[in-house]
Amino acid sequence: MRKYIVIGVCASLFLTALNSCKKFLDVVPDNVATIDNAFTMRTQAMKFLYTCYSFMPKQGQLGDDPAMVGGDELWEIPERGAYLDMAKGFQSKVGPLGDRWQPMYQGIRDCNIFLENIGKVPDMQPEEKTRWISEVKFLKAYYHFNLVRMYGPIPLIKTNLPISADVNEVKVFRDPVDSCFNYISTLLDEAAAGLPQTVISPATEAGRITQPIALSLKAKVLVTAASPLFNGNTDQSALKNPDGTQLFNTTYSQEKWNQAAIACKEAIDACSDVGMKLYVYNPSFQQFDVSDTIKTQLSINGAVTEKWNSEIIWANTQSNTDGLQRLISNWWDPRYLDGVITRGELSPPLKMAELFYSSNGVPINEDKTYDYTGRYNLRVSGEEDKLYVHKGYTTVGLHFDREPRFYADLGFDGAVYYGHGRYDDNDHMGLFYLESKFKQRNGKGKYGYNTVTGYNLKKLIHFQNVVNSQNDYSVVNYPYPIMRLSDLYLLYAEALNESEGPTEEVNKYVDLVRARAGLPKVAVAWSNFSTNPVKFQNKDGMRAIIRQERLIELAFESHRLWDLRRWKESATELNKQILGWDLSQTEPISYYRTTVVYNQSFGSKDYFWPIDENYIINNRNLVQNLGW
């Protein structure tokens, strides 16, 4: 019987190899006693393939996704969630919050076991073996990438060591970060070569890895490698192995951006070859005609919530959104809901409301036609606002004259919600809307669960979720997207701008995303409405435009935390106050006063997770991240 140990994963590894081996055996599918038995036939090997998939992080799940409430784009009631503790600055090297070190290395170990043994399976065709091997190489690369963007340089586990390995072989060093990215990229190239363009049977294979997925992940990996956190980061110059090996190359490399742009375009072409395109809502199945205003909102919303739509490159079938939607959905009708089966939790702070563009498609503090200084003044919704803000409702100027993504993504006091059993937008007064002041149906003091900022997360809720008289909430479930085409387009625009400057090609891919959101092209918007009309004509200005476009387009989808880190912008954004409205007030004049929810702090050490100190104690070759 062959036995293996996983390098650098469990603290106990460095104390006794026997226990480590037993832990490995415990995860063999169906309690198969040996590795050899796990690969005696196709059916058993397939179970092991699915075991390799099982370690995928569950994006969109509060207990498994630090990017949900571990940053600054969503806040919760104080009593909930370890990741909120991370956002509050309570990270520690003793049992780190959101730690993925052990599960990712467990996944890598099982991928290595699979790759070392799949050749033994007798009842498989070579083509199928090639596909399975390619899927597992992808997963191995993905798990390494998750570790790198969390911890920086990591030990690369290219193969498992046998139980007979010398103790010095087990006590591994961290590999330089450039070596990590190069290895991940090479694995993804190898995987892409053996993967199908599409799944053969969507009904049974949805979520399995394809060539466009592999190439898209490679694009993201190389953009990450080219970004300031990893490309010429002098702040990390002191991070070295005990033998003196420098773990960060502190010299900036333009070539990294060049290679990232090439990888992004290759991924875009692969997606195009299989017919992928930005999602646009098709209302043909609806009972009522839908206005262009609502169509645009549903196109924005549906790009995330319509399962396996034309824009989804990769979604995690292990991360469904039923629980998430119940958590963030509002309670609409006091005759039925009591604030238990839906809670209206997860609150975007005021900074997120101010992030979105004006209706002219430029930042509100740049729009020469937007009353930025008067944005907190009260205003009553009129006829032209009726599908965004309930007609006749009093709210603040900040909630008017904003881009469609603002209204598709955010709920606020007076915000209209299309759908949820009410689909006739001609009857605008009959559409659901929020009432968020103190003890109103969606306000503080009503049910015990409420927004903590005055804003609700609307984007991730499917518009066909329905409340009924049995006090039940029927949810249209969908797998949480990991990568969408708009994500890839904006990665390409970012890389190409850094590589070549603001070319027409750069503008093209940003404009494609903006067009679906109902916004004019970058050149048109900035030339006509911005106080800085030439901003898009230079690399620095276009970089700022692309970054804000990305933060808006992918808001609340587990991207912002990683983007702010790789851009080295977290120290700016996460040192700002978390602000909201005064939720204890009943009248608009007093409700719309800004209040401090929390004073965030973020230091240079927070760009990377600490490695659990137990691993450091048991392996003195494993150096801790700076500041921890």
- 3-state DSSP call for residue 455? strand
Q: Which fold has domain 4-57+100-275?
A: 1.25.40
171, 176, 181, 185: CA torsion to nearest 10: -70
The DSSP 8-state label assigned to residue 220 in this structure reads H
Backbone angles phi, psi at 217, to 5 degrees: -65, -40
Inter-residue contact 455 to 354 (CB < 8 Å): no
For residue 16, what pLDDT is reported?
30
> Domain 483-606: which CATH class?
mainly alpha
Inter-residue contact 496 to 332 (CB < 8 Å): no
Closest CA to 157 of 109, 193, 200: 109
Compute the distance between CA of residue 143 and CA of residue 114 in angstroms, rounded to an integer: 15
State the sign of the Cα–Cα–Cα–Cα dihedral 334, 398, 566, 193.
positive
Compute the distance between CA of residue 263 and CA of residue 226 in angstroms, rounded to an integer: 12
Listed in order, strand segments (DSSP E) in 200-257 are none
User: Two tokens at 11?
Assistant: 């603290």
For residue 333, what pLDDT is reported?
61
User: Two tokens at 236?
Assistant: 């990390």
DSSP string, 522-584: HHHHHHHHBSSTTGGGSHHHHHHHHHHHHHHHTTTSS-HHHHHHHTT-HHHHTTSEEEEE-TT
Compute the distance between CA of residue 459 and CA of residue 465 in angstroms, rounded to an integer: 13
Inter-residue contact 486 to 516 (CB < 8 Å): yes
Compute the distance between CA of residue 321 and CA of residue 304 in angstroms, rounded to an integer: 11
pLDDT digits (tens, 9 = 90+) for 142-185: 999 999 999 999 999 999 988 778 888 889 999 999 999 999 99
**Segments in the chain below pLDDT 70:** 1-34, 78-82, 285-287, 332-341, 469, 471
Contacts of 228 by beta carbon, 8 Å cutoff, 6+ apart: 566, 567, 568
Task: Compute the C-alpha angle 37/39/43, nearest 5°.
Answer: 105
For residue 289, what pLDDT is reported?
81
Q: What share of the chain is helix, strand, coil (3-state, %, to 5)?
A: 45, 10, 45
- 3-state DSSP call for residue 521? coil
Domain positions in the chain:
4-57+100-275, 291-481, 483-606
Closest CA to 330 of 319, 318, 342: 342
The DSSP 8-state label assigned to residue 457 in this structure reads E
Q: How many CB atoms lie within 10 A of CB 70?
A: 23
pLDDT digits (tens, 9 = 90+) for 464-497: 998 876 767 889 999 999 999 999 999 999 999 9
Domains 4-57+100-275 and 483-606 share a fold: yes
Q: How many CB atoms lie within 10 A of CB 295?
A: 19
Closest CA to 379 of 364, 394, 392: 394
